[in-house]
Structure 1
Amino acid sequence: MSPELLKSSDAIIRNSELILELKSVNKLVIYKRRVVTVMNEDGDRFVDAYENYDDGIDIEEQMAIIYDESGNEIKKFKKRDFKNQSNYESFVLFSDNRLSYLDYTPRKYPYTVEYISEVESVNSAFLPDWYPLVGYDVSVEKSSVEFLNPENLPFRHEERNLENIDFSKEVSELRLRYEARNIPALEYEILSPAFTDIAPRLLLATDKFELEGVAGEAQDWDTYGKWMYDSFILEHDKISQSTVSKISRLTENAESIEEKARIIYDYVQQNTRYIAVMLGIGGWEPARADEVDRLGYGDCKGLTNYTMALLKTQGIESYYSVVNGNQQIKDLDPEFPQMQGNHVILNIPDEENNNIWLECTNQDIPFNYLGSFTDNRYVLRVTSEGGELIKTKKYLNKENVLKKEAKIWLDEKGGFKASLERVSAGIHYEDYYLREKKDQEDLEKEYREEWGKFNNLNFESIHLNNDRRNIQFKENVDFSGTRLAIKAGNRFLLPLGFLKPYRLNPEKDDNRILPLKISRGSIYEDVFLYYLPEGYEVETLPKAKVVASEFGHAIISVKKIKEGALTALEVKRSIEIKEGEWGPERYNDFRNFIVNLNQVDNSKAVIIQSNI
């Protein structure tokens, strides 16, 4: 084994074989053989000795052998020795999906696991992608995938990010084989693109397939969307007349699409709850609207379809939309139509054809707010005419605003009392709005964790206002603490950045490999007013500072003001960090930009006793 493969590796994949045999549209056999040497505890996650199964997936073979550092066999696991459990948590009401997994705790590192499995599925809708490199901090000695197509069924494949690895390939109508060798470990680097966007992989899909006995097609997104509509959406919109009458009464004074949709969305949030359904075709087909109406619960598919049906009763067209839900922005692949997506949301075009987006599984989220789970990415809008890829809302810099205003009264020991107002909007809203659901004890705990630089925090009052209409969350907090100003003789050093605008402190990296990516830009606006203790005056103030870069800019100013008999320092800070993607060579430039911002933020005023 090459020494290069040991570098930065928690595990080494010695050999990984994936063989897919498509015997027919309703019979797919998946064979795996995987040999992994685990170097330390962090490498345990790369063993991957498990299989998912349900009524349509049978595990024909499953075994594992554990070897010690010298290659001696330690333990052997047969199929009956694997642990078995439900694949989902308590919020899943109906599921036949289960997990068979190797439960092994090593006594010593390194050790090696050889894992073999064979699975037979009636579903050909999901041909697994081949990832020769499966994650960060793992290297690969050899990895291969083979696709056998004895019935000569039409299939497609596409390479992604393979140009920088050593691989070979053989491709024909009946057989495809790729093999990669000697891939060194890739270390995680902060502020980089999603792993799936940079990792080498091979995509596979058939033009025709079966899903739980339902025949389907996916030559393109239009065809796929049409199949999804005809198979799963059509005639799922029946609603009882009593509910139709109720919705009509609620919306009778509303005039616009948005007004009516707001009322209906509020009705759905007040009268339903989320529960997952993963049983057979129910994992893909939404529950009928009348069923959700009767039961008062549903999963993302059922609740989206239910909301769509309620809108339809008022003459409003809306569209079931399939999305990859993830904090990292992940598109449905425009160039490679296949079964993709893990979530469903609702799209409503208004009178001017502006898109309204509804997350139907969340009882607390505002109307037309998505947040980072589904923002700014391609989704499949499913219509009766077919499918089309459209982008969800992108939250612009000017919308992603976090504002703080604080009055801070200093005491003669360096402590303080403060009255803070913080307003979060855009993507920042999701970080705070659920605080209104918390009790006083939990709120104080969160603030103590957030403002941990202060000692002895005490809270006099906490008032929260969730403006769901304008999608802003306001916090008004009166609190006190110690260790704000640092005493030096008869002087105090007063840090002017009362509360940091962001949590970003990137380390220097002269060997950066991955691109730098800021997925969402932000603006931070702060005004801090420090009231000096009686008998103190300002000795020195830092100068105003402007920091400008292609990554963003900052303007910070400090001035002394008088409010009656009180002397105060007014600190104004405006910071913008821009969205964008840059080559790895620009990482240290970005870091220097943040360092400059932090240095300004850490600047101090000197105050002194005036009667000495």
Structure 2
Amino acid sequence: MVKAAVLSLLLAFAGARCLAQFNYATALIPDSLRKGAHTVIRESRESYVISSLSKSTYSMHEVITVLDPHGKQALSFGIRGSSLARLEDADVYVYDSLGRPMQHIRQKDMEKSGWGEELVEDGIYTYCSVNDATYPITVERDYTLAYKGSKIFPEFDLSNADGSIQQETLTVTLPKSMTFRYHGHHAHLEPTIADAGKDDHVYTWTASGIKTIPSEAGAPADWGPAIYMAPTQFELAGYAGDMTTWQSFGKWAYDLNKNAIVLPEASRQLYLNMVKDAPTDLDKARILYRYLQKNFRYVAIELGIGGDQAFPATFTEKKKYGDCKGLSCYLSACLTAVGVKSYPALVNYGDLSQPVDPSFPQDRFNHVILCIPQPHDSVWLECTSNHTDFGVLGAFTENRNALLLTENGGVLVHTPSSTAMETRRDVFTRVNLSEDGSGKAEVAIKATGEDRYNEIGYVYEQNHDDQKRFLVEEMEFPQPDDFTINLEQVDSPLLRTHIALAFEKVPDFTAGDKMFLRPHIYHLHLTHLPESKNRTQSYFFDHPFEESDTTCYQLPTGYVVDELPQARTFSCPHASYTSNYWYDTTQKAVYSYTSIILKDRMVPASDYDATRLFFSQAIKEETAKIVVKPAQ
């Protein structure tokens, strides 16, 4: 029976802890599992027990040895509980390198805080951390979550991002009348299946001796091998659903949220009046999207089944805030009011997240965006941003498989990828150089796309000190003695920024009466890519881009050019670089020009070395110096 399975699991956890002082000594870890590891998962036993569609329990017993400070994140423990996922028990035990008990942190002694941005709270975050650790150190973590439903399944990870795995097991226990699905992600591992009494089945996955897989910079977030799991029929807070197909899962999510996409007649008239002069549906959508951006703000809301169900559009309209679901459903309701069709869409949000597997319906989504279907290229809207351009998603949700929530069920659709021309920065800088090396600079920047968003976030919305920090630490200007920043057309897709700076010292260095000047007084988008032998994963940049810079050094009276760097042009399959330098005798000014284009955000592993060499060469070119001196 299911109850017997839960009892056996708890007794096994208790027995493992009693033997800890013998089992958890660091010396017992095989040398092959220590090599290259910061942490070693000594033992991991997960259990997911489904009593019925409306009730399930997840339990974890995990022992991790932290070998050095690089693995210290494993010394922190945190679990989010809610009305749908109640934390029933939690204990953390700490052992020294000999496996001797040092500390026991009980659930009642852990820190607790509400979550929901202090506006709507439905959960408690329970957490603790082991401080002042002497390495190596071992932590044992036991906890149990009781779910009101059967929608959330665990996954069996077959890698450890910080090291190796000595032994791990995952069991899924469920009534014989129920089924679930599993799928190997870069892995093939079948479970053993056994009876648990006359009514239940137990599926068991076991792995051991998994050595450290070296991490690769810029690799996708879910690169590691794993066994994914998902229900067929399920229930969440009394709402029954079917996840066998994307269509059936999307229908469940649509039905859960359809009442949130409704506005009263008074609101409908308000929005109709807003768009009365708009000639097309997309013009109407632009007006309403901009209204949303100007008047609403994003907050994280998790209430009841808030992870899946949006608050009503009337709530969002009144409060002028919402989470991704609430804002997307509200805008969808506004568009419906003016006769424009749109669909909320589930998507997995994250800088390095990869598209969900079309062949395995599963809820790996953590974000909601909005889609306005079009005959050719549909329009996608990110409703949580106050500055994102109309029809642009950005790096966190581009190139994904999104699940449209339609009246007829879910439809899996691929979101567009950004192009280099969508993120462009053109800079013109004039530097008036004085004989003592001081100078004043006037910088004019035109930015679109991700560069525009960065400048708005780090400049427009910040105080003077934070603006200076951005100029010096991010753009790598020399430390200015004084500066002013002005942004124009903040609401336009093309942002114009004007920066005036004063420097006590402009040259990188001087030698005698010669000044050695950088090609530009700030740094371009040049990423140092680490060497990665036998790379297996693609590399992901933040975004593709085009960047050009023209810098003019107005020389002091009586100064001439002593040496100019050579012009360069080179490329690789995914990027190109061009530079040029000249002296204008009429203006008595030196000019440098550089253009760099990164065509693709993703670089396949096979092209990584060529791309790394390209950026190394570009970085080297940027160290070239313009040399000026007094005329003889």
TM-score higher than 0.5: yes
What amino acid maps onto 1:204 in structure 2?
M
Aligned residue for 1:304, secondary structure, equals helix
The match for 1:266 is: 290
From 434, 452, 461, the counterpart of 1:437: 461
What amino acid maps onto 1:31 in structure 2?
S
8 Å CA contact retained: 1:551, 1:593: no
From 192, 199, 209, the counterpart of 2:224: 199
CA distance change for structure 1 residues 526 and 172 in 2, over 3 Å: closer, same or farther? Answer: farther
8 Å CA contact retained: 1:497, 1:602: no
1:186 and 2:202 correspond: no
What is the TM-score of this pair, normalised by structure 1? 0.91
> Deviation digits for residues 245-286 of structure 1, max 9, x if unmatched?
221222111111111112222333344333332111233211
Structure 1 residue 499: deviation in Å? 2.3
The match for 1:177 is: 204
**For the residues of structure 1 that align with 2:158 and 2:532, how far apart are their CA atoms?**
27
What is the TM-score of this pair, normalised by structure 2? 0.88
What amino acid maps onto 1:553 in structure 2?
S
Structure 1 residue 477: deviation in Å? 1.0
8 Å CA contact retained: 1:419, 1:478: yes
**For the residues of structure 1 that align with 2:90 and 2:616, how far apart are their CA atoms?**
52
Structure 1 residue 556: deviation in Å? 0.9
**For the residues of structure 2 that align with 1:79 and 1:490, how far apart are their CA atoms?**
70
1:21 and 2:42 correspond: no
> Deviation digits for residues 296-325 of structure 1, max 9, x if unmatched?
332221221111111111111011111222
Structure 1 residue 159: deviation in Å? 0.6
Structure 1 vs Structure 2: percent identity of aligned residues?
25
The match for 2:153 is: 127
1:221 and 2:249 correspond: no
CA distance change for structure 1 residues 361 and 428 in 2, over 3 Å: closer, same or farther? Answer: same
The match for 1:321 is: 345
Aligned residue for 1:95, secondary structure, equals coil
What amino acid maps onto 2:330 in structure 1?
Y
CA distance change for structure 1 residues 557 and 171 in 2, over 3 Å: closer, same or farther? Answer: farther
8 Å CA contact retained: 2:310, 2:326: yes
**For the residues of structure 2 that align with 1:567 and 1:29, how far apart are their CA atoms?**
77
1:155 and 2:180 correspond: yes
Q: How many residues align?
A: 597
**For the residues of structure 1 that align with 2:605 and 2:229, how far apart are their CA atoms?**
30
Structure 1 residue 498: deviation in Å? 3.1
1:31 and 2:59 correspond: yes
From 26, 38, 42, the counterpart of 2:70: 42
**For the residues of structure 1 that align with 2:468 and 2:477, how far apart are their CA atoms?**
15
**For the residues of structure 2 that align with 1:514 and 1:329, how far apart are their CA atoms?**
13
The match for 1:139 is: 164
**For the residues of structure 1 that align with 2:442 and 2:523, how far apart are their CA atoms?**
16
> Deviation digits for residues 527-563 of structure 1, max 9, x if unmatched?
1122222111122222211112223211111112133
Q: How does 1:238-387 map to 2 (within 5 A)?
A: 238-350=262-374, 352-387=375-410
1:4 and 2:36 correspond: no
The match for 1:85 is: 113
Structure 1 residue 221: deviation in Å? 0.9
Structure 1 residue 590: deviation in Å? 2.4
CA distance change for structure 1 residues 339 and 609 in 2, over 3 Å: closer, same or farther? Answer: same
1:567 and 2:593 correspond: no
8 Å CA contact retained: 1:22, 1:150: yes
**For the residues of structure 1 that align with 2:534 and 2:306, how far apart are their CA atoms?**
48
From 480, 486, 494, the counterpart of 1:472: 494
Aligned residue for 2:499, secondary structure, equals strand
The match for 1:212 is: 237
8 Å CA contact retained: 2:538, 2:603: yes
1:530 and 2:553 correspond: yes
**For the residues of structure 2 that align with 1:513 and 1:347, how far apart are their CA atoms?**
34
> Deviation digits for residues 33-65 of structure 1, max 9, x if unmatched?
111112233323225644332223333433333
CA distance change for structure 1 residues 116 and 405 in 2, over 3 Å: closer, same or farther? Answer: same
The match for 1:541 is: 564
User: Cα RMSD over matched residues?
Assistant: 2.5
Structure 1 residue 457: deviation in Å? 3.4
8 Å CA contact retained: 1:542, 1:558: yes
Q: Larger deviation: 123-132 or 478-487? A: 478-487
> Deviation digits for residues 416-474 of structure 1, max 9, x if unmatched?
22111112212322211232233445423422333545244322x422123534x2222
The match for 1:109 is: 135
Aligned residue for 1:278, secondary structure, equals coil
1:231 and 2:271 correspond: no
What amino acid maps onto 2:499 in structure 1?
V
> Deviation digits for residues 194-221 of structure 1, max 9, x if unmatched?
231x111110111110111110111111
CA distance change for structure 1 residues 96 and 388 in 2, over 3 Å: closer, same or farther? Answer: same
What amino acid maps onto 2:121 in structure 1?
S
The match for 2:3 is: none
Q: Larger deviation: 491-500 or 443-452? A: 443-452
The match for 1:97 is: 123
CA distance change for structure 1 residues 46 and 513 in 2, over 3 Å: closer, same or farther? Answer: farther
CA distance change for structure 1 residues 543 and 269 in 2, over 3 Å: closer, same or farther? Answer: closer
The match for 1:62 is: 90
8 Å CA contact retained: 1:348, 1:357: yes
Q: Larger deviation: 142-151 or 16-25? A: 142-151
The match for 2:626 is: 605
**For the residues of structure 1 that align with 2:168 and 2:73, how far apart are their CA atoms?**
18
**For the residues of structure 1 that align with 2:32 and 2:611, how far apart are their CA atoms?**
30
CA distance change for structure 1 residues 114 and 528 in 2, over 3 Å: closer, same or farther? Answer: same
**For the residues of structure 1 that align with 2:590 and 2:437, how far apart are their CA atoms?**
15
Structure 1 residue 172: deviation in Å? 7.2
